[in-house]
Amino acid sequence: MISCAAAIAPMAKLSFIRAEQPLAPDLAADRTVVGAGATSRRREIVFVVNPRGANGRTGKEWKKLLPYLRSRLGSDCNIFESLTSGPCHGIDITREAIREGADAVIAVGGDGTLHEVVNGFFWGGKPVSDHDQSGHTTALGLIPLGTGSDFSRTFGWKNDPRDAIERISRGIRSRIDAGVITGESGDSHYFINVADVHLSAKAGYYASRYKKFGNFCYVIGALQAFFGHHNQDLRIKVDDGDWEVYSQVTALCIGNAKYFGGGMKITPNALPSSRNFEVVVLQDFKWYDFILNLHKLYNGTHLSVENVSSRSACTIEVEEIAGSRSIFVQSDGEYLGYLPRKFSILPGAIEMIS
């Protein structure tokens, strides 16, 4: 498990580098301005780029995209790039950009980069913007250049970075919900797409080893996760109701949006502005059930399958009954450890460029 605990501590103040020069071709600077100069108020937009994403494809595609980015946004925006240098760096970059008053922070990459940027919008259990109480709001944006890019599918966005730049140029904003996950340590972890428990979380953990195979890595990860897998009885509490026992749970998915795993429409009724999660539970699945119903998982018709249930929730607490402390938890494809966990909705927590 990759720990991001260091990102919770206050950071040393960083400064944007402003320069009337083109971006260095080797993408070596940590943060470099791509355009600047007008005397009127210009939007300041920070692009958080993981150049190693998708086995290095993100960095290469970002280089190709820069001329178009300059031509569309350079006349009325100060454009800054911030290259991540390792795990959790995107969290720190985002927090500092918000503190310095950026108008928008754009995640450039896949769902992992987006996940870090989303977590950067929060600090100490509250939105970063709440700490300075200035009233300024920084928007979240996305240019999908990663392996999965599942979050953008919910909005029906094309997997085309130029389309994303057009959205950023228009600057239309809307409020979306976020999820927060808390465990026994009390630390908070945030997500905007899908959090999941047990087999699907384990599959995501294994899939991360096969990213060179593109979206097929999720199928490989799921098949590998089935080896040695045992369905488990779970105790679940929804919206502060009574504890319920769900027997032989294969996977439990908590959706703020619809897709995960490279295009599986796992929580087909979820919407990021609905103010609640869709919770989908798969029970007593064998490996052959997964294979037989794979097409239904991708097209979102699996809710009609026996042993699949769905419900809405604002909060859901999940515990294992056996006490093995071996049931995986992940959110937005990032491994978080094991149960128990509580998942809570934060209505309208983030303003997103849509």
Active site residues: 111
In sequence order, the β-bridge partners of residue 352 are 140, 174
Collapsing DSSP to helix, strand or coil, 269 comes out as coil
Question: Smallest Cα–Cα separation from 259: which of 267, 271, 249?
Answer: 267
222-255 residues labelled b (16+ CB within 10 A) or e (exposed): bebbbeebebbebebbbeeeeeeebeebbbbbbb
Please tell me the number of Cα atoms within 13 Å of 312 on its side-chain side.
7
The per-residue DSSP string of 101-120 comes to T-SEEEEEESHHHHHHHHHH
CA 207 to each of CA 154, 218, 261: distance values in angstroms, whole numbers, following the listed order:
21, 5, 9
Tokens of 253: 């998915």
Query: How many Å apart are CA 249 and CA 168, to the nearest integer?
Result: 41
**Whether 350 contacts 142, CB under 8 Å:** no
Alpha carbon separation from 77 to 34, 68, 164, 271 (Å, rounded): 10, 14, 16, 31
Beta bridge partners of 318: 236, 341
From CA 76, how far away is CA 35, in angstroms rounded?
A: 9
Of 343, 332, 331, 347, nearest to 273 by C-alpha is 347
- End-to-end, the C-alpha distance of the chain in Å comes to 32
Distance CA 4, CA 342 (A): 19
